[in-house]
Amino acid sequence: MAPYGSSLRTLPRRQVHRSRRELGDGLNQSGRTLARMSTEVQDLGRRARDASRVLATASTAVKDDALLAAADLLADRSSELLDANTADVETAQAGGMEPAPLDRLRLTGARIEAMATGLRQVAGLADPVGEVLDGNRRPNGLEIQRVRVPLGVVAVIYENRPNVTSDAAGICLKAGNAALLRGSSTALRSNQAIAAMLRDGVAKAGLPADAVLLVEDTSHETAVEFMQLEDYVDCLIPRGGPSLIRSIRENATVPVIIDGDGNCHVYVDAAADLDEALDIVVNSKTNRPGVCNAAESLVIHESVADVFVPRIGQALADAGVELLGDDGARARFAMGVATDDDYATEFLALKMTVAVVPSLDAAIAHVNRFGSGHTEAIVTRDLDTARKFTREADAAVIIVNASTRFTDGERFGFGAEIGISTQKLHARGPMGLRELTTYKYLVWGDGHVVS
Site for a second copy in 231-290 (CB under 8 A): 234-235, 242, 246-247, 249-251, 253, 255-257, 260-261, 263, 273, 276, 279-280, 283, 287
Residue whose C-alpha is closest to residue 179's, from 205, 156, 203, 207: 156
Residue 319 touching a second copy (CB under 8 A): no
**Subset of residues 40 to 59 that bind a second copy, contact rule: CB under 8 A:** 53, 56-57
Q: Which is nearer to a second copy, 204 or 426 (CB)?
A: 426
In three-state secondary structure terms, 335 is coil
Q: Which of 13, 241, 310, 331 binds a second copy (CB under 8 A)?
A: 13
Q: Does 412 participate in binding a second copy (rule CB under 8 A)?
A: yes
For a second copy, give the closer residue by CB, 190 or 293: 293
Candidates 442, 35, 385, 91; CA nearest to 225 is 35
Mark residues 84-123: x for contact with a second copy by CB under 8 A, - for none: ----------------------------------------
Query: Counting contacts by CB under 8 A, is residue 32 touching a second copy?
Result: yes
Q: According to CB under 8 A, which one of 103, 318, 319, 369 is a site residue for a second copy? A: 369
Q: What are phi and psi of 73, to 5 degrees?
A: -65, -40
The nearer residue to a second copy, 86 or 368, going by C-beta atoms, is 368
Binders of a second copy in range 129-148 (CB under 8 A): 136, 138, 142, 144
Using CA atoms, how far apart are residues 181 and 164, in angstroms rounded to an integer?
Answer: 9
- Three-state DSSP at 117 gives helix
Q: Which of 177, 79, 191 is nearest to 433 (CA)?
A: 177
Taking the alpha carbons at both ends of the chain, their separation in whole angstroms is 38
Q: Quick one: which of 17, 94, 95, 96 contacts a second copy (CB under 8 A)?
A: 17
**Which of 312, 405, 409, 432 is the binder for a second copy (CB under 8 A)?**
405
| Footprint of a second copy on 320-349 (CB under 8 A) | 340-341, 344-346
**Cα distances (Å, whole numbers) of residue 265 to 292, 353, 377:** 12, 9, 6
Helices 163-174 and 188-204, packing angle to 10 deg: 30
> Contact at 8 Å (CB) between 51 and 208?
yes
Q: For a second copy, which residue of 100, 319, 331, 400 counts as binding (CB under 8 A)?
A: 400
174-213 positions binding a second copy, by CB under 8 A: none
The only residue of 289, 313, 373, 432 in contact with a second copy, by rule CB under 8 A: 373
Q: Does 219 sit near a second copy (CB under 8 A)? A: no
Question: What's the min distance (Å) between Cβ of 180 and a second copy?
Answer: 15
> 39, 110, 383, 440: which one contacts a second copy (CB under 8 A)?
440
Q: In Å, what is the CA distance from 330 to each residue of 129, 313, 316, 361?
A: 54, 10, 14, 22
How many Å apart are CA 214 and CA 192, to the nearest integer?
A: 7
Nearest distance from C-beta of residue 258 to a second copy, angstroms: 8
CA distances to 140, 141, 142, 443 from 449, rounded to whole Å, are: 10, 12, 10, 13
Read off the amino acid at residue 229. L
Nearer to a second copy, 22 or 98 (CB): 22
Q: In the 8-state DSSP scheme, what is residue 186?
A: G
How many residues contact a second copy, by CB under 8 A?
108
**Segment 418-437, which members bind a second copy (CB under 8 A)?**
423-426, 428-429
Q: What is the CA radius of gyration of the chain?
A: 25
